[in-house]
A and B are shown apart, each in its own frame.
Chain A
Amino acid sequence: MKKHYIIFAGLVMVGILYPQMFPGYLSVAITLLLYAGWATAWDILGGWAGQVSLGHASFVGLGAYFVAVGTAHHEIAPWWSILMALVAAAMLAYLWGRLTFKLKGPYFTLSTIAIAEIFRLIAINEGWLTGGATGVFIMTLPEPFGLDLFSRQVNYYLALAFAAITVLVVMLISCSKFGYQLRAVREDEDSAMASGINPTTVKLKAFMLSGALTALGGGIYAIFLSFIEPHIIFYLLLSVQIALTAIIGGRGTIWGPCVGALLIVGSGEIFRTTFAEANMLIYGLLIMVVVIFMPRGIVGEPARYLIRRVYAKRAQG
């Protein structure tokens, strides 16, 4: 575990210094950090608790809309609206989970798509609440401590903070009682119950935490874009991107989702000119290769191989 904290500290250092080294590439880095954070947050539910959701765009949308509508229509400072979004997201996740956690495996996944689609339709059609299909512009933002929240630099540090908080939360969970309860529920619910664990409660907690963290990223995303529209922010493909980033990197691992984000955002940059708008092609190809050849993901598969090998060696000698 100690080595994870050392890696974490090192990465945060690099993250802090990055804008000084590559001031011209801030937008890519912001995208990378947001996806790393979202995928890590998704993984609390999808990887550690084993409930694959394809509806997490709802939480991005919730966070983004609270911030955008809050500043544009009600003059609420973004930090207050993000706080409200966190509470709202946790409540939404609670109700959502209560409703759907009796569904198993693929059926749970299908229900998340349906619910997220309904939210998208609400965001498009209920203009009085959301600004409708045209979306919402953020024209003015307060300047806490004289910081310009529109500047790329500030956006970057917000995204860095988001990614770091999310990874830190997962690191803390991974060796806690809750972390083991999550893994037990993922592996075998009956066996977990025989150990005194209530699977529904554990999954609900995971969903609430996952949803709230995702909404936090959504709020920062809104500030970064300063213009949000429901077609993008509530879109099924965003849910798919978040989930696939984590799965490709490695479900239920600390660094898998971050590696997934690096790989996907990175290759997206490299192939941007080649594939133009067909950037999801990379996701499609990668997820097929990963699920077929390395089902535990790019980080998970070698890690597991190493552990088993080390043990086999020790057993012999």
Chain B
Amino acid sequence: MPSALKADGITVSFGGVVAVNDVSLDVEQGKILGLIGPNGAGKTTLFNALTGFVTPQAGRIYLHGNEITRLPPYMRTRVGIGRTFQTERPFEELTLLENVLVAAFLKEPKRKKAEQLAMDVLEKVGLADRYDQPALDLNLARRRRLELAKALAVQPSVLFLDEMMAGLNPPALKEMIEFVRRLTDQNLTIVMVEHIMEAIIELSDHVIVMANGSVITEGLPRDVIEDPRVITAYLGED
């Protein structure tokens, strides 16, 4: 399979503190990359560097072979990157349909067609029956699904999911895992930062473990979580 997303030697530092140190990765099209590590490992910073919200000091990023390192976030969205935010950010004053519509307009400038696309996406995530509700009044599980719908409505080729599973109750978690799995059937490539191991193990084709800004190990999910270095990173030395 061709490479969908490739990063070489990404380094990000904030005022002398290195948050991400020389991280490289390569995701094949249609695969899911899991990104795990203890708090403060630099996962979210790496994630933001890949999506353009943080500028790396060194390294290069390629999307389907084209370099995107210097592109601002909105340009990356236009060339095929979709993302969710860790703390969901619906446009609270807008209805669910309008929320998704904002994103749908990217590929469908005509209102009618964009609305159709937005409705389709809402259908997919199971929010279609609430399309005219203001986004302000949603509960957590639905806010997550709306966040996902917004990311899908830009019709990305690579989707970044930032802790989509955190805080969901078991049935909602199962549903979300099932949903994400189905996304790859349509050849969508996914990069996910996640703390819920169940989701990582069930979904990832490849896992990268970070600690203190660097990659400490990577591989298949089952192998990685039994790696003693990973256990040390999570639990500390002694």
Q: Indicate yes or no for A touching B, C-beta below 8 A.
A: yes
Seen from chain A, the residues whose Cβ lies within 8 Å of a Cβ on chain B are 175-177, 180-181, 183-184, 187-188, 190-199, 252, 304, 307-308, 311-312, 315
- Consensus secondary structure, chain A interface: helix
The reply on B59 being an interface residue by CB < 8 A is no
Q: List 15 A-B contacts (CB under 8 A).
A: A177-B109, A180-B94, A180-B98, A181-B102, A187-B91, A188-B91, A191-B89, A191-B90, A191-B91, A193-B52, A193-B77, A194-B73, A197-B102, A199-B74, A304-B134
Question: Given A190-B85, A194-B82, A198-B72, does the pair A180, B105 have CB atoms closer than 8 Å?
Answer: yes
Partner of B134, one of A184, A197, A311: A311
The reply on B222 being an interface residue by CB < 8 A is no
- Total cross-chain contacts (CB, 8 A): 88
The reply on B122 being an interface residue by CB < 8 A is no
Is A194 in contact with B134, judged by CB distance below 8 angstroms?
no
B89 to chain A, nearest CB (A): 4
Q: Which residues of B contact A177 (CB under 8 A)?
A: 105, 109, 111, 114
The reply on B132 being an interface residue by CB < 8 A is yes
- Residue on A nearest B92 in the bound complex, by CB: A187
- Residue on B nearest A311 in the bound complex, by CB: B133
Apart from A198-B75, A311-B133, what 20 extra A-B contacts exist at CB < 8 Å? A176-B111, A180-B98, A184-B91, A187-B91, A187-B93, A190-B53, A190-B73, A191-B90, A191-B91, A193-B74, A194-B82, A195-B77, A195-B103, A195-B105, A195-B106, A195-B154, A197-B102, A308-B136, A312-B137, A315-B133
The answer for the CA separation of A304 and B133 in the assembled complex, in Å, is 11
The answer for the CA separation of A187 and B77 in the assembled complex, in Å, is 18
Q: Which 5 A-B pairs have the closest CB atoms?
A: A196-B77, A187-B91, A196-B106, A195-B103, A193-B73
The answer for the CA separation of A308 and B135 in the assembled complex, in Å, is 10
Question: Given A177-B109, A311-B133, does the pair A192, B102 have CB atoms closer than 8 Å?
Answer: yes
B110 to chain A, nearest CB (A): 9
Is A180 in contact with B134, judged by CB distance below 8 angstroms?
no
Is A194 in contact with B151, judged by CB distance below 8 angstroms?
yes
The answer for the CA separation of A181 and B103 in the assembled complex, in Å, is 9
The answer for the CA separation of A180 and B137 in the assembled complex, in Å, is 20
Partner of B111, one of A175, A184, A187, A252: A175
The answer for the CA separation of A98 and B111 in the assembled complex, in Å, is 29
- Residue on B nearest A198 in the bound complex, by CB: B74
The reply on B144 being an interface residue by CB < 8 A is no
The reply on B121 being an interface residue by CB < 8 A is no
Partner of A193, one of B72, B98, B133: B72
Q: How many residues of B contact A (CB 8 A)?
A: 36
The answer for the CA separation of A176 and B102 in the assembled complex, in Å, is 10
Is A195 in contact with B109, judged by CB distance below 8 angstroms?
no
Question: Given A177-B105, A194-B83, A308-B137, does the pair A183, B53 have CB atoms closer than 8 Å?
Answer: no
Q: Which residues of B contact A184 (CB under 8 A)?
A: 91, 102
The reply on B101 being an interface residue by CB < 8 A is yes
Question: Given A187-B91, A188-B91, does the pair A311, B154 have CB atoms closer than 8 Å?
Answer: no
Is B102 in contact with A183, judged by CB distance below 8 angstroms?
yes
Q: Which residues of B contact A307 (CB under 8 A)?
A: 134
Q: Which residues of A contact B114 (CB under 8 A)?
A: 177
Q: Which residues of B contact A183 (CB under 8 A)?
A: 91, 93-94, 98, 102
The answer for the CA separation of A176 and B110 in the assembled complex, in Å, is 9
Interface string of B113-136 (1 = CB under 8 A from A): 010000000000000000011101
B153 to chain A, nearest CB (A): 8
Q: Which residues of A contact B91 (CB under 8 A)?
A: 183-184, 187-188, 191
Q: Which residues of A contact B151 (CB under 8 A)?
A: 194
B108 to chain A, nearest CB (A): 9
The reply on B78 being an interface residue by CB < 8 A is yes
Q: Which of A176, A177, A315 has the most CB of B within 10 A?
A: A177
* In the complex, chain B residues 143-178 whose Cβ is within 8 Å of any chain A Cβ: 150-151, 153-154
The answer for the CA separation of A194 and B52 in the assembled complex, in Å, is 10
The answer for the CA separation of A199 and B52 in the assembled complex, in Å, is 14
- Residue on A nearest B101 in the bound complex, by CB: A180
Q: Which residues of B contact A190 (CB under 8 A)?
A: 53, 73, 85, 89
B172 to chain A, nearest CB (A): 19
The answer for the CA separation of A188 and B53 in the assembled complex, in Å, is 14
The answer for the CA separation of A175 and B150 in the assembled complex, in Å, is 18
